[in-house]
Amino acid sequence: MKNESLNHITTQYQLLTDWYLFSLADITDKDGSKAINDQVNSLEWLAGHLITGRYRNILRLGIRIEPYKYLDRFINQTIPPPNAIAFDKKIIYPNLTESREQWTNYADIFLNAIKNADQSILKSELAFSIPTGGKTIEDALAFMILHETYHIGQMSIMRKLLGYKSMQLSPKK
């Protein structure tokens, strides 16, 4: 039987899946590559960075998929986590159209993997500690909700700075 916290985690990831898409809705690929200044991530970097997180969590949940083809632009795989590569204006990141498609593909795989994960996988220990505490895959999943929320918030601010209307917060009915 699945525990109640896993149900909450799944519900939160479903909302974040939508928020990611809502934060990037209607933004052109050209605008996705813009950075407000050298200290602010572009939407392309933010979008790819979050895809990288989903990809890595899919693997942690025991699902084997084709590697994210842009992983080397976001992760330094020669060092242990945290190993994100900072935004660099000189790097060409995947455009928003491609990122939205990849996110949607990974979202289906990821949400199904969480729903079907057994306790032995969730309680498996990682080789590193999670910023919010713990070392299990379940601890990592709980932390990544905060991580995705943080970056989607940045994406929603960027969309407004680029002149787009505020992102929607819930699916249209």
The tens digit of pLDDT for each residue in 33-91 reads 999 888 899 999 999 999 999 999 999 999 999 999 999 999 999 988 889 999 999 99
pLDDT of residue 170: 83
Helix (H) or strand (E) holding 74: helix 71-74
Q: What DSSP designation does 93 have? A: P
Please give the model's pTM, rounded to 2 decimal places: 0.93
pLDDT band with cut points at 50, 70 and 90 for residue 171: confident
DSSP 96-137: HHHHHHHHHHHHHHHHHHHHH--HHHHTPBPSS--TTS--BH
Question: Measured between alpha carbons, how far is 139 from 123 in angstroms, rounded to an integer?
Answer: 9
62 close to 113: Cβ distance less than 8 angstroms: yes
pLDDT of residue 167: 93
Task: Give the domains, in start order, of the chain with CATH numbers.
Answer: 4-161 (1.20.120.450)
Q: Which amino acid is at 146?
A: L
| Least confident span in 15-19, 56-60, 66-70, 169-173 | 169-173
pLDDT of residue 173: 58
Question: Measured between alpha carbons, how far is 137 from 128 in angstroms, rounded to an integer?
Answer: 10
Computed over every residue of the chain, the mean pLDDT equals 93
Question: Measured between alpha carbons, how far is 104 from 4 in angstroms, rounded to an integer?
Answer: 25
Average pLDDT over residues 4-22: 91
pLDDT higher than threshold 50 for residue 1: no
pLDDT band with cut points at 50, 70 and 90 for residue 3: low
State CA 136 to chain mean position distance: 19
Count CB neighbours of 65 within 10 A: 13
